[in-house]
Amino acid sequence: MALTDCKIIDLPKISDPRGNLTFIEGDRHIPFDIKRVYYLYDIPGGAERGAHGHRKLEQFIVSMSGSFDVILDDGYQTRTIHMNRSYYGLYVSPMMWRDITNVSSGAVLMVLASEVYDENDYFRDYDLFLQAVREKGGV
């Protein structure tokens, strides 16, 4: 997989003076069925999250509140995406290392995942991730 496979996806936004509404439907707004939803919150200032990759898992990351940066790395190049709107999300393909940094106070990050939790799908060591990328031929 390459960085070009990862992209911002605009979500439906229904504007209303009483408050806006956005929704996400798997296989319609994002390119996979949603099998797991989790969210990160109460992240201490200066803390970083992520620092891992996935073999097969696809993710869609949304800033429900506040802001943060997602640093994506396909083993050959990196790209930083600033997330600060609840009406778009970041699609993250498999075989992508990700770090989450610059998390604002009170931020809430929601992640939709294509699979249930499976520890065997994780790369937690960057060098092992790079080795797997090179073995697959990468970009």
Give the residue among 20, 6, 28 at the shortest CA–CA distance from 97. Answer: 6
How high is the pLDDT of residue 2? 85
How high is the pLDDT of residue 45? 73
**Active-site residue numbers?**
52
How high is the pLDDT of residue 49? 87
Query: How many angstroms separate the CA atoms of 60 and 7, rounded?
Result: 10
Report the topology of domain 3-136. Jelly Rolls (2.60.120)
* Range of weakest confidence among 49-53, 57-61, 87-91, 96-100: 49-53
Q: Under DSSP, is residue 84 helix (H, G, I), strand (E, B) or coil?
A: coil
How high is the pLDDT of residue 50? 85
Q: What are the boundaries of each domain within the chain?
A: 3-136
Evaluate if pTM is beyond 0.75. yes
Band of pLDDT at residue 61, cut at 50, 70 and 90: very high
